[in-house]
C-alpha cells in the first residue's frame, strides 16, 4: 500500500523494543519457511463449546488469540480466547517434538493460534486441550495491553477500541448487549406489523428537528446536501404513501457540541403508526422498553453502579409508567401558582429556583429551562411527561383540552429524555404555519415537498423517536454515551 506511509507517518515510524522483538520473531519464522499469516483455519467449534461438550479424549480443532501462557519447562499451558470465551491448551515437548515445542514457547501474547488436540481435565479440574499440533494463524507485531489491569486510558480506549475490547471483557459485554437491544427492538416492532425502511441520510433540506446540520457537496449534482438531523419527514411521507406502520433505526447527525450525552452522530429509532395517537405511542414505548429489558437483561429493575461497584441509583421499569402533564409537573416542582404568575415573576422565580435564564428567553423558554434543569434530572423512573407547550413542538397536533398544548409526550428515564412521541400533525395548512413560525425570521428553508406530501393526505397517526444510544446507556448502566458507541467521535490526532 504505497499511500500508507504518507498517511500514517507516526504509526509507521513509532516503534520500541517490544515491537522490534516481535518483528524479529516474524523474520525468524519466515526464515524457517513458516508463514504466520494463514489464509484459513477451520475450527470444529468455539472455545466455549469445546468445554461445554466435554468428553475425555475427544479430538477438537480450536482457534483463538493467545491471552496468557504459563511455561513449565518441558511443557506449557496457554490460554486462547475467541468470542465465546477462553480455553486452556497444554503443550508437551515429547508430543510436539523439539522444534515445534520451541516454536510454541516463542509465541507471543495476542498471536492467533489454531490447535488440534484432545480434551482432558487437569489435576486442578480445568477442562483443557492436549495439543497434538498447532499452527500460527496471525502474528501480533504489537503487544496487547496488560492482562490484569486492563486498559484504563480513556483516550486509547476510544481511539483504539479494539484494544479496549481485548483488554476489558466488560466493555465487550456492553456492545454485545447493545446488539441484542437493537435486535429486540426490531423483533418487537416487526411482531406488531411495523415495516422497517431506509430513507436518505443526505438531504437537500434537513428537517424534522431543530439542530445544526453537517453540510456536504454532491459533485455530479452540483449542489450542497446536508446529513439528516432526524428521520421524521421521510417516514411521514411513507404514511402518505400508505405504509401504515413504519420504522427506521438509523444514524442522525447534528453539528453541535460533544458531551457525555451527545455524539455528533447518534442512532435514532423512529416509528409511525397510522390511526395511532400519542396515547397509543406511549403504550408502544412502554411495551418496547420493557420487552427489550426483559429479553436482554432478564429484569425490569436496572441498577446503576459507580466505578467501585456501589449502587448509585435504581431504575424501576415495571409498568404502568407514570403519565403526568407538563404543567402538573412544573406546578409540583415550581409552585402551584406557576402558571398564574406574570412572565416577569416567572422569570424571577426561575432564577431563584436556580435555573439559568438567558436574557432573550421568551416566557415559554423560561418554563422549559425550569423543566430541563430542575425537573428532568429528577425523573429516574420512567415518566411520560405529556402536553408540552405547542411552541416547543411544531410537528404535533394541538390538544383539544388545552389549546396552548400539543398532544405529545416526552418519556424521561434516568434523568434524560429518551423518547418523545406525538399525535402527528396532518393538517398541511396548520403544519405550514407552525413551521414558518418556528423558522421565524431566520429564512430557514421549508421542506416544501414534505408540505406537498401532507396536502395529498396523511392519515391521523402517532409517532415516536427513541434515542437508541441513550436507551443503551440507561439499560446498561453507562454514564457516558461514548461507552455505548464503539467508535465515539474524538478530535483527529494530527499525524
- Residues lying near RNA in the complex (CB under 7 A) are found at 16-18, 21, 25, 68-75, 77, 79, 88, 90, 92-94, 106, 108-109, 120, 122-126, 128, 130, 143, 145-156, 158, 257, 259-260, 356, 358, 373, 479-480, 482, 488, 490-491, 493-494
Closer residue to RNA (CB): 70 or 305: 70
In the complex with RNA, the residue whose CB is nearer, 281 or 473, is 473
Select from 239, 190, 193 the least CA-distant residue to 462: 239
319 class by beta-carbon count within 10 Å (0-12 exposed, 13-18 middle, 19+ buried): exposed
Distances (CA, A) of 352 to 335, 356, 367: 12, 10, 13
Distances (CA, A) of 52 to 48, 119, 122, 125: 6, 11, 16, 14
CB of 280 to RNA, least distance (A): 35
CB of 88 to RNA, least distance (A): 5
Query: Closest distance between RNA and the C-beta of residue 80, in Å?
Result: 12
Burial of residue 273 (CB within 10 Å: 0-12, 13-18, 19+) is: buried
Which cell numbers in the block locate residue 443? 429564512
* Nearest approach, Cβ of residue 71 and RNA (Å): 4
Q: Quick one: three-class SS letters along 23-80? A: HHHHHHHHHCCCCCECCCCCCCCCHHHHHHCCCCCCEEEEEEEEEEEEECCCEEEEEE
Nearest alpha-carbon partner for 405 in 353, 330, 479, 480: 330
Q: Quick one: 116 or 156, whose CB is closer to RNA? A: 156
DSSP state of 427: -
Q: Which is nearer to RNA, 92 or 438 (CB)?
A: 92
Question: What cell does 469 get?
Answer: 444510544
Minimum distance, C-beta of residue 59 to RNA, in the bound complex (Å):
16
Angle at which helix 232-240 crosses helix 448-455, to 10 degrees, equals 30
3-state secondary structure of 382: coil
Q: What share of the chain is helix, strand, coil (3-state, %, to 5)?
A: 35, 25, 35
The nearest distance, CB 120 to RNA, in angstroms, is 6
Nearer Cβ to RNA (237/347): 347
User: How near is the Cβ of 398 to RNA at its closest, in Å?
Assistant: 31
Q: Which is nearer to RNA, 394 or 488 (CB)?
A: 488
Supply the minimum distance, in Å, between the C-beta of residue 258 and RNA. 7
Instruction: Compare residues 352 and 401 and give the one whose CB is closer to RNA.
Output: 352
Identify which of residues 92 and 381 has a Cβ nearer to RNA in the complex: 92
In angstroms, what is the minimal distance from the CB of 138 to RNA?
16
Give dist(CA 2, CA 24) in Å, integer. 23
Cβ-based nearer residue to RNA, 22 or 434: 22
Angle at 302 between CA 309 and CA 193, to 5 degrees: 145
Amino acid at each position: 500500500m504505497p499511500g500508507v506511509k504518507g498517511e500514517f507517518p507516526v504509526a509507521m515510524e513509532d516503534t520500541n523494543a517490544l515491537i522490534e522483538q516481535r518483528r524479529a520473531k516474524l523474520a525468524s519464522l519466515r526464515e524457517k519457511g513458516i508463514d504466520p499469516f494463514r489464509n484459513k483455519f477451520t475450527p470444529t467449534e468455539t472455545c466455549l463449546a469445546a468445554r461445554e461438550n466435554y468428553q475425555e479424549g475427544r479430538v477438537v480443532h480450536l482457534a483463538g488469540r493467545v491471552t496468557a501462557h504459563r511455561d513449565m519447562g518441558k511443557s506449557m499451558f496457554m490460554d486462547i480466547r475467541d468470542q465465546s470465551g477462553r480455553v486452556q491448551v497444554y503443550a508437551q515437548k515429547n508430543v510436539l517434538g523439539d522444534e515445534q515445542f520451541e516454536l510454541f514457547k516463542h509465541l507471543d501474547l495476542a498471536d492467533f493460534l489454531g490447535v488440534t488436540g484432545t480434551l482432558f481435565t487437569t489435576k486442578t479440574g480445568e477442562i483443557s486441550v492436549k495439543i497434538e499440533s498447532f499452527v500460527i494463524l496471525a502474528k501480533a507485531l504489537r503487544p496487547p495491553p496488560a492482562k490484569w489491569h486492563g486498559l484504563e486510558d480513556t483516550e486509547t480506549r476510544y481511539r483504539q477500541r479494539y484494544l479496549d475490547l481485548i483488554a476489558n471483557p466488560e466493555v465487550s459485554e456492553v456492545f454485545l448487549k447493545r446488539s441484542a437491544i437493537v435486535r429486540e427492538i426490531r423483533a418487537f416492532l416487526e411482531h406488531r406489523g411495523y415495516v422497517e425502511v431506509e430513507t436518505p441520510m443526505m438531504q437537500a433540506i434537513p428537517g424534522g428537528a431543530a439542530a445544526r446540520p453537517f453540510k456536504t457537496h454532491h459533485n455530479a449534482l452540483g449542489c450542497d446536501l446536508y446529513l439528516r438531523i432526524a428521520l421524521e419527514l421521510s417516514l411521514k411521507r411513507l404514511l402518505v404513501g400508505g405504509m401504515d406502520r413504519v420504522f427506521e433505526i438509523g444514524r442522525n447527525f447534528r453539528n453541535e457540541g460533544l458531551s457525555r450525552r451527545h455524539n455528533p452522530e447518534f442512532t435514532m429509532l423512529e416509528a409511525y403508526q397510522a390511526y395511532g395517537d400519542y396515547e397509543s405511542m406511549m403504550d408502544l414505548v412502554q411495551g418496547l422498553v420493557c420487552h427489550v429489558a426483559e429479553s436482554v437483561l432478564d429484569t425490569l429493575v436496572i441498577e446503576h453502579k459507580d466505578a467501585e461497584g456501589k449502587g448509585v441509583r435504581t431504575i424501576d421499569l415495571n409498568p404502568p409508567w407514570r403519565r403526568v402533564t407538563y404543567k402538573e409537573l412544573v406546578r409540583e416542582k415550581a409552585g402551584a401558582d406557576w402558571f398564574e404568575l406574570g412572565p416577569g415573576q416567572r422569570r424571577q422565580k426561575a432564577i431563584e429556583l436556580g435555573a439559568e435564564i438567558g436574557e432573550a428567553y421568551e416566557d415559554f423558554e423560561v418554563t422549559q429551562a425550569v423543566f430541563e434543569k430542575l425537573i428532568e434530572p429528577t425523573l429516574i423512573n420512567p415518566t411520560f411527561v405529556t402536553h408540552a407547550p405547542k411552541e416547543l413542538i411544531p410537528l404535533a397536533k394541538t390538544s383539544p383540552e388545552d389549546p396552548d398544548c400539543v398532544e405529545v409526550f416526552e418519556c424521561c428515564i434516568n434523568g434524560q429524555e429518551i423518547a418523545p412521541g406525538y399525535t402527528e400533525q396532518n393538517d398541511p395548512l396548520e403544519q405550514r404555519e407552525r413551521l414558518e413560525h418556528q423558522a421565524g425570521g431566520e429564512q430557514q428553508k421549508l421542506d416544501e415537498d414534505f408540505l406537498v406530501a401532507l396536502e395529498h393526505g396523511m392519515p391521523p397517526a402517532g409517532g415516536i423517536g427513541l434515542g437508541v444510544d441513550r436507551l443503551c446507556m440507561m439499560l446498561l448502566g453507562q454514564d457516558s454515551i461514548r461507552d455505548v458507541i464503539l467508535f465515539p467521535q474524538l478530535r483527529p490526532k494530527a499525524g
